[in-house]
Chains A and B, each alone.
Chain A
Amino acid sequence: MTRVSVEVTVLGIAQDGGYPQVGCLKDCCAKARGDSTLSRMPVSLGLKGTDGSTHMIEASRMMSEQFGLWSSLGNLDWPPSSFSLTHAHLGHIDGLGLLGREAMGLSGIKVHCSESMSVLIQKTPSWEMMIDQGVIELNIWNPMGPFEPSEGCGFTITAIPIPHRSELSDNHALIIRGEARSLLFMPDQDSWSETLVGDVGILQWLRQLDIDIALIDGTFWDYSEISNRDVTEIPHPTVTETLSRLGKRGDRDPEIHFTHLNHTNPLLDERSLQSEKLVSMGWEICKEGSVFYL
């Protein structure tokens, strides 16, 4: 008997601003402007269900290139049935308008999100118009309650509330559960001390959630990257802190892939010392075009 797996394709691994980032004239982005193979798109996942339906996590402005990547891997069934949005910061939602009449002209696309995200969408005239025109249909999820993004797709999504600066909306991590494995997508969080409750460590938390693969916030390697910004305005746990909490990977530990990399993050260079250190500890750097089977 054969079993068809749910496929999760990584369509972007960069922080909201992408890589290279507009306005950055430093070496990190100058070299990416000179070599397009180094550029990276804002975080996004493409999901393909066991019924062949396709679904997006996040709606970035680079959706065209992301669909191109997905299509080049042979996994895209056009158009996607749904989008699920973790929160309202720039790169996670700034491509929503591309579904509308000015670009793709789609209709009846399900947008799964939290209640506060739905309020924001309905209060934003250009997005509200898309609801009125039937381009998108909002579906508000219940936090911690699994739902199928489309009936019979063969997997569920569960939204987990995660503390992250909430000027526009709240923030959620998403658990994608296939029949065989489960993947956590948590691109943004303020701090581990707020995300983890009590004395629970990262690995124990992932075990409790029954996670096999975790794509987690790796925005900054450390705060020395950020010389011209107040980091308290853009809080994320650094990768160095996360690594010190994790230690080396054990045999039965889940896979952890760092994603949502800022343009300053040395993990964007696979040959950097920081990348070598992370990999030597048994953890991974998320790669565009990677496919996970659940």
Chain B
Amino acid sequence: MLLHGAVSSGLGRAHVFMAQPHYQEQFKEVLGSSAWPGTLNVNLESESLNPYRKLRVASGLDQGTQIVGLNPIRIQGFERDGKSFGGATAFLANISVDSKTWIRCALLIPDLTRHTETAEIISNTFLREDLPCIDGEEVWIRVDRSL
């Protein structure tokens, strides 16, 4: 499954969540090592909205037919100091700016996200430097599937 869109800036608050040890422990299991404490936001083009909706269905956020071959990974929420941190669903993927060189990543769909047209990407590395990319630049996200 391939998604396509343009890099955008979020509210800059993702690092607060990404830095939480409870999340980081789970991201290690997904990505193989710690995640960079931030997300890369990608505003999806119209053609990618339908496949993205299938990921939201697989995450339990939207109604629809569950397609086989997607491998959602559950990220558990937790409470800390009286604050509640929500769960999320991750899908292993690769990201590229030229469809030739790919960097391992995961597409993260938080349970409480308001984004329905923006993909949030996590990776071991700072993707804005390693891809590299800047706001407005187009990227490809290839989501793993087993069928």
Q: Chain A residues in contact with chain B, CB under 8 A?
A: 1, 3, 144-146, 158, 175, 177, 179-180, 204, 207-210
Contacts and interface: CB of A to CB of B under 8 A. Distances in A.
Contact of A209 (B67, B138, B142): B67
B146 A146 contact: yes
B65 interface: yes
B144 to A, nearest CB: 10
Given A158-B147, A204-B65, 4 more contacts: A1-B99, A145-B147, A179-B2, A208-B65
A179 B142 contact: yes
B128 interface: no
Nearest to A212: B50
B44 to A, nearest CB: 13
Contacts of A3: 4, 99
Listed from nearest, the 4 A-B pairs whose CB atoms lie closest are A179-B2, A207-B65, A210-B67, A1-B138
Chain B contact-residue range equals 10 to 19
Contacts of A145: 146-147
Contacts, number: 34
A120 B98 CA distance: 44
Given A179-B142, A210-B54, A144 B147 contact: yes
Nearest to B138: A1
Contacts of A179: 2, 142
Interface in B101-128: none
20 contacts: A1-B98, A1-B138, A3-B4, A144-B147, A145-B146, A146-B147, A158-B147, A177-B145, A204-B65, A207-B65, A207-B67, A208-B66, A208-B68, A209-B67, A209-B68, A209-B69, A209-B147, A210-B1, A210-B54, A210-B67
